[in-house]
Amino acid sequence: MAALRRAHSTANLVLRATGSTTSRSVLPAAVNAGNRHLFSRAKPAYPGHWPLNTLENAFMAVGSGLMALKDPRRHDMVATLGETTAGYALPRMRDAMLASAEGRRILRKRPSVNSDTVDMEWLKTLPEGTFGRAYITWLERCGVTPDTRAPVHYIDDPELAYVMKRYRESHDFYHCLCNLPVNVESELALKFFEFFNIGLPMTLLGGVLGQLRLTPDKRHRLFSEYLPWALKCGGGTSKPLIGVYWEERWEQNLEDMKKELGIFDPPPAVWRRPLSEAAKARKNKLAAEKAAQERADLEAMGQKPPQ
């Protein structure tokens, strides 16, 4: 603990020397969330912050875990589980970021990743083999956008809340770097990878609980092929990916980047049809049915349906 504090103070000095203006707590947040006790909450520290006391945090952790298991499409519950079980992992992640100049730049500038900040059109013009081009190709191949991340609500320290947000937004970059699609087995493989690389408890929870829903042969493949890869690559050869400033590296050659970061490819995965196509078709059908029912209801209750 004392060593952590020393390391943090040193990092603090370095930051101040480099002209950082972010206000920073001297102690790790797990100690600084000493505003949070069994029955008392911290004060709201940023927009969207919903402080919880320790009992409430435990309740939310259990409740969101059960709900996420019951209905894995409840991304907000998965996000809540991640935040309520983060514990000491977030300060560790923040310290990993502080350890490199690149990570310190991220903490200072606090960039966001969404379709407003990422110029998708420009990425398409980048040459083959660059990270940016690979990323946009991956997005289109899987049919996802960088916009689906739930906001952070339950982390008391604003900087750690940003670290959590950054982790969530970087998830797709890990997908791209490791060349994994978005089906369940690949997501779980990536969760294990993230656990060995970053150490957030939720990633382990997600991997361990998520694999319960797999068929036996997929589970066997996950544990016999992907888990060793996750351990060797995520925990062994690769640098902490949380400190990578992705937005500065669009034009970097992908293979060079992987070598620099110590990533090697996992066993080949199954790539299916892009998510968006199937989802869109389903959505259209449901929307048409709903619209018909709504017109009938509105007429019955005395309102004119929109033309």
Partner 1 sequence: MRTVSARFNSTTTPNPSNENSRPAQTHFGFRTVDENAKEDLVKGVFSSVAPKYDLMNDAMSMGIHRLWKDDFVSLLNPGRRGPIKILDMAGGTGDIALRMLDHAREKYADRDTSVLVSDINPDMLKEGMRRVRQTMYHNTPQIGFQVANAQELDPDIFPDNSFDLYTIAFGIRNCTSIPDVIKEAHRVLKPGGTFACLEFGKVDNPLLSQLYEVYSFSVIPMLGSILASDRESYQYLVESIRRFPSQPVFAQMIRDAGFTTGQDFSGQGGAWRDLWGGIASVHLGVKA
Annotated binding site for Zn(2+): 171-172, 175, 187
Binds partner 1 (CB under 8 A): choice among 9, 37, 40, 59: 59
- 212 binds partner 1, rule: CB under 8 A: no
CA distance 207 to 189: 7
- 74 binds partner 1, rule: CB under 8 A: yes
Q: Residue 67 Cβ, how far from partner 1 at the closest point, in Å?
A: 5
Helix (H) or strand (E) holding 61: helix 54-70
Binding mask 225-264 for partner 1 (x = CB under 8 A): ----------------------------------------
- 300 binds partner 1, rule: CB under 8 A: yes
Binding mask 134-163 for partner 1 (x = CB under 8 A): -------------------x----------
- 67 binds partner 1, rule: CB under 8 A: yes
Q: Residue 306 Cβ, how far from partner 1 at the closest point, in Å?
A: 12
- 303 binds partner 1, rule: CB under 8 A: yes
Other residues' Cβ atoms within 10 Å of the Cβ of residue 165:
18
79 contact partners, CB below 8 Å, separation of at least 6: 149, 150, 152, 168
Nearer to partner 1, 64 or 203 (CB): 64
* Tokens 């989802």 belong to residue: 279
* CB contact burial 125-153 (16+ within 10 A = b; e otherwise): ebeeebbbbbbbebbebbbbebeebbebb
Q: Residue 153 Cβ, how far from partner 1 at the closest point, in Å?
A: 8
CA distance 3 to 135: 39
Question: What does the angle CA 263 – CA 130 – CA 146 come to, to the nearest 5 degrees?
Answer: 80
Binds partner 1 (CB under 8 A): choice among 29, 77, 97, 182: 77
Q: Residue 59 Cβ, how far from partner 1 at the closest point, in Å?
A: 6
| Structure token digits, residue 267 | 């066993």
- 202 binds partner 1, rule: CB under 8 A: no
How far from each other are the two terminal CA atoms of the chain, in whole angstroms?
66
Nearer to partner 1, 47 or 127 (CB): 47
Q: Residue 298 Cβ, how far from partner 1 at the closest point, in Å?
A: 7
Q: Residue 150 Cβ, how far from partner 1 at the closest point, in Å?
A: 9
- Determine the residue type at 231: L
- 265 binds partner 1, rule: CB under 8 A: no
CA distance 274 to 137: 11
- Determine the residue type at 156: D
241 contact partners, CB below 8 Å, separation of at least 6: 170, 173, 174, 177, 197, 198, 261
- 85 binds partner 1, rule: CB under 8 A: no
Q: Contact residues for partner 1 (CB under 8 A)?
A: 50, 55-56, 59-60, 63-64, 67, 74, 76-77, 80, 153, 294, 297-298, 300-303
